[in-house]
Each structure stands twice: as C-alpha cells, then as structure tokens.
Structure 1
C-alpha cells in the first residue's frame, strides 16, 4: 500500500557532493507543483552538519527528512533521524550513490524529489551500532586514509574511480598484513590479512554488490570477509561474489553474524560508510529494521 504524501519535508543539501547540477532550481520546480507540502532546506558546511540538521528537523516536526549527497551524507541523515518518528528520503548527489542503488530509489534528482512528494512505500532497513553511532552500508578495517579513493580521481573517473583504486590495492604486493582476532556471535576466529569488511548493504554505485547475492539490508545479518594479497583465494572469492559466481571459495570465505568484535595487532583504522571514524578494537551489532526509508512503490514500478 502506498504511503500518503508527506506534509512536512526537510531536505539537507551537501553542496560538496560529486554532482554538478542546479539543485535548488530542480527542488523548487518540483515542490512548486505541490502547494500543500510545507518544505524547508538546510545546507551543510562540514562533516556532522547533516546529522545535526536532520535531527533538528525531525525533532521539529518534519515527517520526512531527505539528504542530497553521496553515501556519506545518507549515513549522516540516518544517524540524525534514528530514534525519531521521521522517515528518511534519499536524493542522489554523490559520485557513487551506492545506498540509492541498493534501495532502487531514483538515480537522478528530479524523479527522486517527485518520490518525496508523491510517496511510495516504507522499507525498514537494518542499521549497525558502533559505539554511540550507526552505519548503514559497510565498515572496513585496515585502509589508511591515503589509500582511499581521492576526490580528484572521483572527479576524473566518476564511479570507475572506486574500481580502479580497489584493483590497485588488490594487486599491491607491498601491502602489509596484520593479525586479526575476531569474535562473531561468540565464536572466535584468527586471521592474518590486510583488510576486513563488515557489510550491511553491499551494493556499490556501479551496480556491483561486494557480496554478490548474499547480503540484504533488511535480513538482520552482517556479512564478513577478508582480503589478503598473500592469500589469492580471498581475492578470487571476492571477485567471484562481485560477479555472482557460485564458486566454493565465494561461498566458504564469507561469514554471517549479528555481532562482531574485531581486534588487531597493531591497531588499524576503521571506516564506516566511507568515513574514517576510529581505530580498532571495535564491537558492532546489527539493529534489525530500525531505519524507515521511503522507496518506490513496487506496485507502481
């Protein structure tokens, strides 16, 4: 059943996102057709602003809060509205827009704003608790800031920048390996590897899932896998999953759990939804169905 149109909508705009388009013109043009909707906007200047602005809007009575930006912006919006009665909307403004791709929300701005006005259905997405914050897509351990995909590469190559950077890292024989001590749902594991991934929503902006068909963002489970340049089977398994190949390695070298503790020697950087947030050790737990997100109505699709 379709959700009736929302009466109070707030949009948080990240002007530093990866797209160059007339954001305000499009938003104003669409909302001008729906005079009964009370809509407001706010603009971010730094990391953390979107969370604060989303929370203020939700607590101030907005029944839908949407973020224009990439996956980092969507991460902040989710953290802002969790625990309130507001629904989250997604306006794709980043380079990759993996979260929008995951939920099959419109990939361009105008139809995405139209969805906010006309309504769709609510999908209750899992979130993952880390300390006092949450992430909605992925956590990874072992990637130093200088190894991240640069803004310059994103501007130059678009979504292909992520694939290019991933290939460089996977084939870098000089990458250091570390000892990981991991506890998943009470069971202990030890790995020697370069990187570890904890996945809630697996889809990238290129339309490739990092876990193949294993992950769903509303199944109450996390998927975990490791990458090691000294163990080519871990790399081939990851490639097989991305290509949806049903191989033995692809199925065996991935684990599912609801809670995971990760410790490393030495401590390693931790990234959540593309942002460097802390270092190991960490413990995360999935919170099933905690985030209501507006998505297209499948009955209308």
Structure 2
C-alpha cells in the first residue's frame, strides 16, 4: 500500500521526535512518503498531487485546518486512470487523521482518541484489519468541509481568536470565551439581524443573527466537553442548522446555557433548528464573517451549502 503523510510542522501538540516515531510506525505497514506543508493552502496541493499519483492512503498530522485542506485536495483531484469503477469515494485515496492540533474535532468525531500516540495506534489497527467507513461532507460554494461551518457570530469569534494567536496568545477555552463576549457586546450588529436562509420549495427564514451548520456531532469541544447545537447531526445524513433569530442578551444567554448542559437541546422562540438538509443558501444584507472547520475565510454576502453523501473513505 502506497501512502503519503502530510505534516503541518507547526502542529501544536507534536514535536520532531514524535513525528519520527509516527513515521517509523507507519512505515512498518505502508510504503510511505512524507511531505511537509510550507504555507496556508499547501496541504491542498500536496493531497491533490498524491491522489493524482495514485496513492492508496493520505495521512494527515496536524489540526482541523490541515484536515480541511487535505480533504479539499482529495475532492478536487483527477484520479489516475488505474482507479476505475466503484463509487467516487473508492476511486480516491482513503484518509487517516492523526490528531496534532489543539482541538481535533474531526478526528474525535470519528471516534479517535485525543492524543496523537493513541490515535496513531488506532489507525494502525484499522489498517491491519482493513477497517474504514465512508462519510459524507458538506460543501460551501466550491469548498468542502468535514464537520462545521459558521456564518455570523461564531465565525467572527474565530477571526478574533486567530488574530490573538498571531500575536502570540495560546488557544484555550478562556480565549474563545473572552473573544465571544468582546465581539458580542462591541463588534456585532446584534440588534439588526440581516441573514436569511433560503431552501428550495420552502419559505425563507429571515432576520437571523447567526447561523451554525454541522455535518456531524459535536460542533466543537471545550476541553473534554462536547458543544453540540445539533446533537442529531451525522456524517451519514445531510446538514443540520441552528440559527438564532435575535441576539438579545436574555435569549442568547439561555441558548448558551442550554448548549453547555449535560444533554444539550437548544430550543426557544429565537432558535431555528433544521435537520438533514440537502441544500440551502444563506444571504445577508451586509457582509458576514464566514468559517469552515474552524478556519476563518473572510466575509461573504451569500453562501450556498450542499450535502455530499458518500464522499470519502476514512480509516478509523
């Protein structure tokens, strides 16, 4: 089996020594080539090249941003002619994800342990046993995502956190909490919601303040605690949505409290939840912050979302 390991050398929870251990472990089972990312977006190019070379497996070592780039490289590759027949997922290399970031939502949603060493052991066992599953992905315009997207408040908070990290701050739950409070009270147009959700054959849902989209559960983690606006979201179904119609202090506080409870089930007059959607479009009268898989992508007036079933094989 030919495999490529795509390494983000800036991965927050691994060292050069641990990378060497991982490489030796993988080489005990596969014919491995190691490729390092050098810039943002480089993992997409490396994964696309690997798929077009006809490798059987692409392994990532990094966080959710690295996984997202690799998935987009695989999904936009032209597979070689030797990979014919079967489903689209079977014509692409399989994906294995070694957790190396600060949160690793995608790997943990697949059932992998949080630590890279334990995750590696589980992946090696999956390779020995031929264990894999096929998952669906989300797509926002022309870009794929694995577990979540955001339009509005949560994306703006991610932007603030990324700016703080570039100034040397460490990613932590407290940093996200402070960034959320700061944007909510100082940076948002919370009294004038501007987002509409449009679905084929359905009335538009208007005056939304922020929208969270999930392709699986959970949406994210605070340490070991799952944060789950849409607990029924699944890699095997369409996309789930939770939106807040207003960002008033009382209703928003109540929703956040529900999200952080032991059995989250956010409800209320200001909460819109939709399950297992094939497609929808978000439109805003003013530009909104936009993120995919925890990666801030700027501001948009409009984004079309679609569910892509049976898109990719993963080792887990």
Common topology (TM > 0.5) = yes
- 8 Å CA contact 2:245, 2:272 repeated in 1: no
**Which residue pairs with 1:277 in the alignment?**
297
- 8 Å CA contact 1:153, 1:161 repeated in 2: no
**Which residue pairs with 1:13 in the alignment?**
7
**Which residue pairs with 1:298 in the alignment?**
none
**Which residue pairs with 2:116 in the alignment?**
109
1:213 aligns to 2:207 (yes or no): no
1:225 aligns to 2:243 (yes or no): yes
- 8 Å CA contact 2:211, 2:241 repeated in 1: no
- 8 Å CA contact 1:11, 1:41 repeated in 2: yes
Q: CA offset at residue 155 of structure 1?
A: 5.4
Q: Distance in 2 between matches of 1:242 and 1:128?
A: 25
1:42 aligns to 2:24 (yes or no): no
Count the aligned residue pairs: 285
- 8 Å CA contact 2:134, 2:310 repeated in 1: yes
**Which residue pairs with 2:103 in the alignment?**
96
Q: Distance in 2 between matches of 1:200 and 1:71?
A: 14
Q: Distance in 2 between matches of 1:64 and 1:275?
A: 24
**Which residue pairs with 2:273 in the alignment?**
254
**Which residue pairs with 2:287 in the alignment?**
267
After superposition, what is the alpha-carbon deviation per residue over 1:200-249, rounded to whole angstroms, capped at 9, x for unaligned?
13422434133252322222232232374326324423431342244643
**Which residue pairs with 2:80 in the alignment?**
none
Please point out which of 171, 179, 193 is paired with 2:194. Answer: 179
- 8 Å CA contact 1:154, 1:161 repeated in 2: no
Query: Compared with structure 1, are the counterparts of its residues 131 and 265 closer, same or farther at alpha carbon in structure 2 (3 Å cutoff)?
Result: same
Query: Compared with structure 1, are the counterparts of its residues 31 and 181 closer, same or farther at alpha carbon in structure 2 (3 Å cutoff)?
Result: closer
Query: Compared with structure 1, are the counterparts of its residues 174 and 167 closer, same or farther at alpha carbon in structure 2 (3 Å cutoff)?
Result: closer
Q: CA offset at residue 136 of structure 1?
A: 1.2
Q: Kindly report which structure 2 residues correspond to 1:99-248, keeping only aligned pairs within 5 A, or say none.
A: 99-118=106-125, 119=127, 121-142=131-152, 143-144=155-156, 146-149=159-162, 150-151=164-165, 156=170, 158-170=172-184, 172=185, 175-177=188-190, 178-187=193-202, 188-193=204-209, 195-203=210-218, 204-205=220-221, 206=223, 207-211=225-229, 213-226=231-244, 228-230=246-248, 232-243=250-261, 244-246=263-265, 248=267
After superposition, what is the alpha-carbon deviation per residue over 1:143-197, rounded to whole angstroms, capped at 9, x for unaligned?
4475335326995353553344345545x2663133112213432111242x221
Unpaired segments ≥5 residues, structure 2: 76-87
Query: TM-score scaled to structure 2, two decimals?
Result: 0.79
After superposition, what is the alpha-carbon deviation per residue over 1:43-100, rounded to whole angstroms, capped at 9, x for unaligned?
0011111111011112212211111111111111111222542111111111111111
**Which residue pairs with 2:78 in the alignment?**
none
